[in-house]
Amino acid sequence: MTRFHAGLAGFAFPTVMRRRILAGFACLAFPLLGAMLASGCRDRTAPPPGEVASAVFWKEVGRWSGRGNVQTGVFTSDSGGFRVHWTIGNETRKDAGRLRVVLRSQDSGREIVEAVDARGAGSGVEEIAAERPRWYYLSIDSSDADWAVSVDERIDAQRRD
């Protein structure tokens, strides 16, 4: 005896046919559901394939320390972006130390940008943007304290997936 089950829109389907329909539905539905769940687990911090991810790296171009005024050696920049680390310490009198660091053009000696102007013991990091790629040097003016200065050049990079 064949059993019937009320199906879609009131049509009667034999039980064997109903099982085949359900099996076909399961074969399609479960892989689709798995794909939807897997796509939700994708790393959202990485750019989609074909897009470009930007990154910034820093390359040290020089490190100097001393007491008093100094002009550094010449260094080049391809990007014009710099990060200046500075420290003032060992003051002769409290809050008497002064440090002024100026980025200058090697061609003309003119002031491009003042990177640091600090008084008293302390330290810091300054990011500066110069005009363009060129040769530079620093003029470091200091009084009544020991100082240390280092300069890193900004390097913009891109990663393609």
In the chain, what's the furthest Cα-to-Cα distance?
A: 109
Q: What is the pLDDT of residue 41?
A: 57
Domain 53-160, what architecture? Sandwich (2.60)
The 10s digit of each residue's pLDDT in 91-121 is 998 889 999 999 999 999 999 999 999 999 9
The torsion angle over the Cα atoms of residues 141, 86, 71 and 76, rounded to 10 degrees, is -140
- pTM as predicted: 0.65
Please answer whether residues 58 and 153 qualify as being in contact, where contact means their C-beta atoms are separated by less than 8 angstroms. Answer: yes
